[in-house]
Each structure stands twice: as C-alpha cells, then as structure tokens.
Structure 1
Amino acid sequence: MKHIWRGSLIDDGELLDNLRRLPDEINDTLQESLKTEDVLDACEKLSAVMLEYKDEKMKAALAEDECENPKEFLAELADNISRKSLTTKLCAELGTDRPFEIKRINYRTQNFEAWSPMGVLVHITAGNSIVVAPMAAVEGLLTGNINIIKVASNTGSFAAWFFSELSKYSNISKFIYMLRVSSKRKDIISEIIANADCVSVWGGEDAVSAIREMTPKGIPIVTWGHKISFAYITPDSMDSAISGLVHSVCRNEQQSCSSPQCVLIDTDNTADVDKFAKMFSEALNSCGIPQKTPDLAQCAEITTVTELHKSDIYFNGGDIIEADDHTYRLLICYTPKFMPSPLFRTVWISPMPHNEVIKRLRGMRQYLQTAGLACNINDLAILTDLLYRAGVTRVTPVGSMSVSYTGEPHDGVFAMPRFLKRVSMRTELPLTGILNLSELREPEEMHFNGKIQGKADYPPVPENGTRILMKSGGTTGEPVYCSYTQNDFDKYIIEPSIEALLSRGLDPEKDVLADVLKCGNLYGGLNCFISVFDKMNAPHLSISGLDNFGMVADFMIKGKATAILGAPSYILRLFEENADKFKKYGRIKKIFFAGEHMSDGQKEYLKSFGLETLVPVLYGANETGSMGISCDYCPSGVYHVCSDIQHLEILKMDEDKPVDEGEVGRLIFTGFKRENGHTERYEIGDTGRWVEGPCQCGRKQPRFELLGRYGDVIRMGGTFFNYQKIGKILSDDLKYSGRLQLILERAGLNEKMIFCMENISISSEELTKVLLNSGYDSFMKTVPTGLVEIEARILSPDEFIINNVSIKLKSIIDRR
C-alpha cells in the first residue's frame, strides 16, 4: 500500500488500473467546487490532531521518513496549517480569504474579477524534505485545484498519512492524489502530467529539465529550484553577528535553502577577514548543537572542495581553519569569492566591499535567496537595496535566516497566484449595488440548534483586547460591549454598508454625503461609516449628530452636500429648524436613513424640500453587525438577509418554533463568520415576518419585513397596542409628519397613554376621536370604558426624550 487515490490507500497494481480512468474522474470532479472554508476547517482539525501527538500511525510514518525531531516538526507544521495562519496567507497572497467570489472591483463600474482554479495541479516534489508535499498540497487545495502529488519512492509515509487524514473532511478526498514513484518511471509521470493545467516542480536543473520535456506546450511550469544563501556582515557588526551565525550554520547542517553557505565581509582588508574567521572558529568550537554525520558521498565532496581550496591558496592567498575532529571547516579567501558549499558546517569566508556586491553576485542571481545581514542602522537601507538588486529575495537577521513569517513570499514570489487564473466579467444586465455574484445563487442551507441567546449571553471583550470595540446604544436596555476583529469589521460592517448604499442610489462619483449619525461613546454610527466612505472613495462630510442644528446645516451647505445619512428623528428636526436654509440651498436630493421607521407623512414633509430619494438602507446593530440590506424593489421595512454572514430564523412569539407562513415572529440571528463577538441564535429584540417570492433585483437571499421592537407592542387595559400602527394612523388620518413619543402612566385605577407630538394643534378630545374612528380595536375596547385615557401633549423639539448615545428618539417611555 503505497499511494493515495482520492483519499484511499492503494498499491502498485491498483495504481496502473486507476490511471486509465483518471481523465474521467478529473472531468467529474471539475464540475464541483472546493470551498475555501472547507479546506480551512479540515486543516484546523488536522492541526489539532498533530499537536495532540497521540496518533500512532502518524508517529510510525514520521519514523519511516526518518524525522529527527517529530514533535518540533509537527508543532511547526500544525502552526502553518492552522486556520489563522492559512487565512493570513490567503489575504497576503491573494488579497482576500474568499478568492473565488466574483466581486465588483470598484464601486463606479460593473467590472467584476475573481481568482479561479487552474484545474489540475501536478506537484513533482523533492525527496529531501517531508514537509514539501503536505504544504504544496495545502496550497493547491486552498487554490481550489485537483492535486496530483508525486513524491520520492523512498519517502512519503508521512505525506500519505497527512493526505489520508485530510481526506476525511468534506469532499476534499476527490481533490487529492499522491503517487509514490521513482523519477525513473517516466511513463507514469508523463501520464499524470498529460492531465495537468499547471505543473509545480521542486528540484535541481536536471529534474526541472526532465519535467519540461514531458509537459505539453502551453502548460505553465512553476519551478522551485536549489538556492544559495549567505551572510553579509560589516566590520563593525562582526562581534554581534557571531552567535547568530553559528546557530544558522549548525541548526540543520546548512540543509535549508535559507542556510548560509558563505560569509561575505564588507571590506577589502584581509585583516578583517582573518579576524572574523578566528572569532567564528572559536564560536564553532564551543557550539553545543550536535552534528549530523555526512554520508560517504557527502564526505567525499567536502574533502574534494577542501583540497581544491588548499591548492588555490598558493595562487590567490587565503587560509583554512578546520576543527581537530573535522566537525567544521572555514574556507578563507582574500579575494572576493562566492561559491556554493558542500554543507555540513563548511563555510566560505571572503571580503566583498559593498560597491562590488552587484558585480560579484549578479551572475548567480537565479540561485540567490536569503542574505543574513549584520550592519548598523545607517547602512541598513543602502545594503538591503544593493542585495535586492543583486538578486537576493530575502534579507533577515543573521541568526534567524531560516525563520519565516506567515504570508512571506517564497523565492521572491507568492505561490498561490501561480496556481490560479485571474478572471474577469462585464455585463450589461442591471446589477445595482450587487458587489458579489454569489448573491445571485441560492444561499447554503444552515441549521443551528443551540439555546436562544440574549444580551446576557453576549461574549465578553477578549482579555487581550480587540481591534474594534463598540457599545450598543442602550435604547432598549443595558448596553452591550461589542468586539470586532478587523476581519469582522470588514465583513459585518464595511461591505454590507457599501452594498446597501449603492443599492439604494448613492453615486460615489457625484454625491457628497453628509453623515449626521452620532459618534463617540464607543457607538458605531458615524465612526463606522467614515471607514465605509473611505473604502468607497466617496466624498463625505463627517458632521455627526450635533446639538447645534444651525451649525450642521451650515456645514452641509459649505461642503456642497447632496445626500444625508442619519436617523429619521434627527433628520426631521434638522429640516424643521433650518427649513429656509435648505429650501434656498436646494441641492440635497437624497436621504438614507437607518435605526428608526419613517412614516409616510414624514416622507411627504421632507419631499417638500425637493428631495427625490428617501430610503432605508441597512438593518443592523452594534452587537450583530449588518443583518439586512434593502434594494430598490424592497418596500419600506423589507430587507434581504445578509446570507453570506448571517443566518436568520423567525420564531413564534411565544415558543421557540418556526413561524407559519405570513406569521409575525421574533428575529433570531446567527453571525456564523464572526470571530470576536460570535453569537449563535441571538435574539436581537425585533419582530418580523418572511416575505415570500423572488425579488426583481436578482438576489436570491431571502427577504423579511421588519415590524419593530418587542417594546413597540404595549400592553394596556388588558389588550395590546402597536406603536408602529398608532404612528400610521396619525400619518394617514392627520397627515402628521412629526415625531411621536408615547408616555405610559398610571391614572388612578386605570392607565393613561400620553401622545407627545410637535408642530400640530390638536386637543386630547380631538385626538381620542381620531383614534376611535380609525377602527383600531385596541382603542375601541379600552378608551370608551375608561380603561385607557388619551392625552395629547404638544412639545417643543428640545422637550422630547432621546437616547444620548444614539440620538434616536425613545419611542415609548413606560412610567407605570
């Protein structure tokens, strides 16, 4: 049993039979998509298995592959394939952790781009490292490709275990083949390469040439050849560089491409070279890192190179310092020299003034990789630039030349873009506000079964802090502190907000938007939308909801505002107090509102100022982020679920069961991609119902109608009243366009509902008559019998009670 075929172990006999049906299997698999999220989940789980170090088959495979420090090896590999590391790698190399989503590339045109898998990726790996095959395959899986990995015939036990385990998750098995065959089996290698859309080759020039001959014309070949690394040290940094250099040379006998084979001194003085060599020799003598003994062929190469250098000394000068036990040797030159080393603590040392670096190294530019640089800060920029221009692709400290960071380029390039195509799409079909073509596909079905959560269950702020911290406004109770990672903020705040604004008519090229949402006190509002408008490259005036309404109007006019974003109650008062200014100015045509309902009467009042667009844009909250966006085909109060980040359930008002068709229920959200502040089945405190049928905008995300807060339903006089319905009565029957605040009080043995209103002349008796004539049965059951008393109270703008954090109107104040 030597090979892995779609996750299963097979032997040599089965391999030849399976190869015949490989083209058909590939064609079938290419009709499926490998989801990035599934790969990340699988790698995260496998990472945990490796860290546990309990799997006996894994231990046996590492022993078969002669892994010297298995726990250390597994810890490093586990870290490299963790979700966090791979997500960082995706973002560094591809600019996103969702590479296959066909996204709008700017907000002014309908130009879309995405990464797309090449198809079949054949990896020809080297036999000198057991980590190459697993990591190469992970990169291939992250790029959505079918991976055929050829490993050396005498290794691959750990790779086989790794691929077998990885294949247990999701549908990954269909995308993995591992063949443990000799490079001499050109018949088999040619057959797998014939199916390739891209070939990735690890090895020397001969190996790469052989693969090139077998690869059909036009198929890209990605090469990862042998590299040479070195240390470059200035004389004033020699003392400080010695210890680190010893570590880099001895840690794995210079076997890594990033290990130093030469030491170049920025000098033309041979005394500096001798001084350094002596210091380095003394440090090597006291090195406590055990040495791996070279085999017979390696010993022969070391002897040959050493003896040739002895001969060269007679002509060009130089020296050799060799340990008495032959554990190391320093080949010292007095003229600039750059050569590969036979390794095993064999180091070339020579002078190379910085003005000769390019001339001396450029001839080896295709082989250069890492330069361990030891210098002072005054020389850092100059020497780094020289080394890059000579062909070096990495500059590191001398003592950590083989240390890498997540997302670092390899040999001067990123791997994953070479395994992908960059695809584009333009269309004349109307895609207003659609940022991602995934919105035109049915959302994936999800199910969550945990207990219903509320504010008391909201996750605390992480002990080490968070990238962004917001606090809910507290309009409906105690505020919640809401933590977001940068990834959370982008997915749950920035992207949905951009889509919502574009969907409802904001033109980032022509509009100047005045933002009068509240800021400060850790409230989201304006602070979030500054980032939104910056990402859109849209002109905006970050004014905030100031108490000086005249100043706000002046700022808008000075800034040439054409649109406003804010809470309805604030916008209404702004226009009321600056009516003459805005009518004279006449350039504000669009109002985008959120956080509160705007009645038809209020809309009609604002349209008298020449406004053409008055639309809700976004349904969201500080604790959950964005939950829904509206489009031009959504009636007021109707939203599309943000299905790429949120899952919505609507449950019955009195039990945790799904509502029936058309029934009003509680909105329960699960932000399944949140990192910080993750909640499952979170009860946001709002009511709504499903809206059936497709939307003309083309989005397949389900729609729902938002019907208000639980608190909008008032129990008085033994029955229920709905704040939104009361507001509609006033708008329809009185053409009322102002703010409405209801105060509930005791009136002896009965109760009183106080209607706080503005800019209207009406008595309590007249208001009572309007409410009874409306036909709303809750009033007809309670008012005539005296159970509920109605009082009209006309207030000035400053007398309304608002939330000081969100500047939203407190619609209901219960004083009973």
Structure 2
Amino acid sequence: MLSILSKEGLTYKLETELGIDHKNLKPLNNSTKRRFEPIGVLLHIAAGNMDFLPIYTVIEGLLVGNINLVKLSSHDKGLSLKLIDELLKIEPKLTNFIYLFDIPSSDISSLKKLADISNALVVWGSNEAIKSVRSLASTNTKIIEWGHKLSFAYANHSTTDTDLVNLSHHILKTNQVLCSSVQGIFYDTDNEVELTTFGKRFFEILKETSKSYPKDIGMIGRNTIQIYTEQLKENNNSIYLNEDGVSVCIKFDHELALSFMFRNVWVKPLTKENIITKFHKHKYHLQSCALLVHDETKDEVISKLIRSGVQRITGPNASRFIIGEAHDGTYALREYVNLIEIDEK
C-alpha cells in the first residue's frame, strides 16, 4: 500500500489512468484544444471495512484537483483524522481541499446539504448504502459507485497444494471482508465425491496454515454459533468442517454467495460449461476470481469468466494491490475529471 501512495506510485497512476500526456493533451484539430479539469467538489462516503479507504479515496480526488468532502464511517475511530492531519503537515496547501465530517448515516438532513453542494458523490459500500446515497442526490449530481462486489476462487484437478496454501494465506489475512476477498471456491466437477474430496483437502490445508495466525476467541465463538444455526436451518446434505477457528462448508448447489466471512469458506461444484449461465444474474456484483487452473482448459475458463462479468482474474492472492490497477473494471481518475474541449478560432 505504501508503494501505491509514494510519489512514484501516484505519478504512475496518473500516467496510466489519464495518459502520459495528461497535462498536455493532443488537440483534436488546429482550432480545438483539450484538457482535463477536476469535476469540482466530491463527497466521499466511505465504507467501514478498510481502515485506509478514506485517505485513499481522498488522495484520488486530490490527484486531479478536486475539493474533497468525506463522510466518515462509524467504524473509523479517528484513524482517518490522524492520517489527514499528517498529510496536511507535509503539505499545508491542501487544507482547503479536504474536509472531514463525522455525521451518522441517520442524519439525512446534513447529508443532503453536503450532497447539494457537491458536483459528484463517491460512494463505497453495500447495495443498501448505494441505494441510500441515490436518494440523497439530485438528478443533476453525478454518482460514482464503488459498490458491493463478490469474489471467489475457481479450481480443478490441476490445482496444486501450493495454490491452496497461498489461497489460505489470502483468506486468513483479509478475513474475507474486502470486495476482493475470496468467499468460496468453485470446483470444476459435477461429481459429489470429487467435490467432497477437494473440500476436505482444502480444509486440512486451511487449518494447518491458520496455525501461523493469531486466534480471536470472539471470532471463533461467532463462527461456531453461525455454523450451528445454519446446520439447524438447512435440510440438505451439506458437509460442515469446523476446527481451530476456520471452517469449510461443502455445498452441492451452484450459487455464488457471500460466506460467513472471518475464515469461513464454502466449496461448491461448477463445471466450466456452466460458468456464464450461473454467473449472469450476478454480473454487476462480480469482481475478482482467484484462478487456480493450470491445465489446457485455462484459456477457456478465462474467456468464460470475462464473458460472465468478472473484472479481475488473479492468482491465489485476489486482494493484491498493483499500482495503476483499475477499480471494478474502470479507472477512478477518469471518473473524477471532465474532459474539456475549447475552440480557439
């Protein structure tokens, strides 16, 4: 993350998203010049599942010259204020470009006032959060949505133990709370025995890998209660493997779903022939696929994932940060500027 926020990282981001010549765009013709201009005032409504998100979204707005209003999450606990304060110590000239507001989501009147003075609303969060923000904005206010997304892994007989160890590290580090966090694994099979064998194999690897991570008693208790409740509710043949603060649930449906998170992973069957059919209804919510396929079907699987709406295809670490990568299939900086054309003759 530090490399992304370095001078070199931010310069690379600008050049990747707006072009190397973004400060001196090529004219359309002899009389029409072009240039990027900031939208104006951005109201950022940050989600609470990533501690650095408010400072990150502010820096994106600053990079292209916008004034940034930030509605802090109730989970922020003062971290964003401290980070912004440190930023302003480094560059006091930014003082008039950043304003933080500790306003509860229930204070609709204050949020509407902020929305009314903004040129665009930048919202991070769930479907409910986006729906709520839409109700705040007037029809002439742009809404930039970085919404709720789901990520998953896709494996087959060529998936190695090393793949599964690395995937386990990803799950244990992120606790599955990020949009890019793998919620579960689809396995290329329609055979219940093969699926069960794979699910048990992954559970043993996840359990072993978890030994190098601290245990949270509260999280373990929460997980145990949720899994027990789910078992009572279900009337199917799902298999639950739960031990040492991690769990794998082997299910025999083909549905993409949010897991219990916090080191609880589902494993489900999905043949490559059915990828597009099963994912189509989730096309807006698909983000990352950690692809663990190494055989001759890999290119076919990639093609089907892309056609179904997946926006990032990664290795086991689906939450890796790369300087210049897109947000949910698009470049953020292009959303935060207007491309102005001026006839000079």
- 2:77, 2:100 → 1: CA distance? 9
The answer on 1:139 being equivalent to 2:60 is yes
Match status 1:328 vs 2:249: no
Residue 198 in structure 1 maps to residue 124 in structure 2: no
Structure 1 gaps of 5+ residues are: 1-75, 429-816
Contact 1:305 1:342 in 2 (8 A): no
Counterpart residue identity of residue 185, structure 1 = D
Partner residue, 2:11: 87
Q: Distance in 2 between matches of 1:251 and 1:361?
A: 27
1:478 paired residue number:
none
User: Offset at 1:335?
Assistant: 3.9
Partners of 1:278 and 1:346 lie apart in 2 by 14
Are 2:147 and 1:222 aligned?
no
1:104 deviation in Å? 2.9
Q: Distance in 2 between matches of 1:186 and 1:251?
A: 35
* 1:162 CA drift (Å): 1.9
**Amino acid corresponding to residue 207 of structure 1 in structure 2:** A
In the other structure, the counterpart of 2:80 is 159
**Mean alpha-carbon deviation: is it higher for 328-337 or for 289-298?**
289-298
% same residue: 27
Cα displacement (A) at 1:224: 1.6
Aligned residue identity for 2:130: V
The counterpart of 2:230, out of the listed 278, 281, 305, is: 305
The 8 Å contact of residues 321 and 331 in structure 1, kept in 2 or not, is answered as yes
Equivalent residue in structure 2 for 1:105, among 6, 20, 27: 27
1:284 Cα deviation (Å)? 2.2
- In 2: Cα distance, 1:298 partner to 1:274 partner: 21
Residue 276 of structure 2 corresponds to 358
Question: What amino acid is the match of 1:337?
Answer: E
Equivalent residues of 2:49, 2:178 under 8 A apart:
no
Matched, 1:129 2:47: no
Residues 50, 178 of structure 2: 8 Å contact kept: no
What is the distance in 1 between the residues matched to 2:223 and 2:124?
21
Question: Using the alignment, how far apart are the partners of 2:8 and 2:171 within structure 1?
Answer: 31
Is this contact kept in 1: 2:158–2:295, CA < 8 A? Answer: no
Q: Which has the higher contact order (CA 8 A, sep 6+)?
A: 2
Contact 1:137 1:147 in 2 (8 A): yes
Q: Equivalent residue for 1:427?
A: 344
Q: 1:179 aligned to 101, 110, 131, which one?
A: 101
Within 2, Cα distance between the matches of 1:95 and 1:306? 53
Alignment partner for residue 301 of structure 2, among 383, 390, 395?
383
How many angstroms apart in 2 are the aligned matches of 1:188 and 1:92?
A: 37
Matched residue count: 341
By how many angstroms is 1:156 displaced?
Answer: 4.7
2:38 pairs with 117, 122, 138, which one?
A: 117
* Equivalent residue letter for 2:81: A
Kindly report which structure 2 residues correspond to 1:338-349, keeping only aligned pairs within 5 A, or say none: 338-349=256-267
Report the secondary structure of 1:372's partner residue: strand
Structure 1 contact 166–173 (Cα < 8 Å) conserved: no
3-state SS in 2 of match to 1:218:
coil
Matches within 5 A, 1:512-661: none
Which secondary structure does the structure 2 equivalent of 1:305 belong to? helix
Q: Which of 166, 181, 185 pairs up with 1:263? A: 185
Q: 1:249 to 1:103 in 2, by over 3 A?
A: closer
**C-alpha distance 262-83 of structure 1, shift in aligned 2 (>3 A):** same
Gaps of 5+ in 2: none
Q: Which amino acid aligns with 1:427?
A: E
Which whole-Å CA distance do the structure 2 matches of 1:383 and 1:179 have between them? 45
Aligned position for 1:402: 319
Question: After superposition, where does 1:659-670 map in structure 2 within 5 Å?
Answer: none
Q: What's the C-alpha RMSD, in Å, of the aligned pairs?
A: 2.1
Residues in 2 aligned to 1:207 and 1:160: alpha-carbon distance in whole angstroms: 22
| Higher gyration radius (CA) | 1
**Quick check: 2:146–2:327 contact (8 Å CA) kept in 1?**
no
TM-score (norm 2): 0.92
Q: Is the 8 A contact 1:102 1:112 kept in 2?
A: no
Q: Which residue of 1 aligns with 2:239?
A: 319
Worse overlay, 226-235 or 294-303: 294-303
Tell me how far 1:302 sits from its aligned partner: 4.3
Q: TM-score, normalised by structure 1?
A: 0.40
CA contact (8 A) 1:372 1:396 kept: yes
Partner SS, residue 296 of structure 2: helix
Q: Given that residues 319 and 332 in structure 1 are in contact (C-alpha distance below 8 angstroms), is that contact kept between their aligned partners in structure 2?
A: yes
Distance in 2 between residues matched to 1:298 and 1:217, nearest whole Å: 43
| C-alpha contact 1:201 1:208 (8 A) present in aligned 2 | yes
C-alpha displacement of 1:102: 5.3
Q: Distance in 2 between matches of 1:394 and 1:347?
A: 20
Q: 1:363 to 1:150 in 2, by over 3 A?
A: same
CA apart distance, 1:190: 1.2
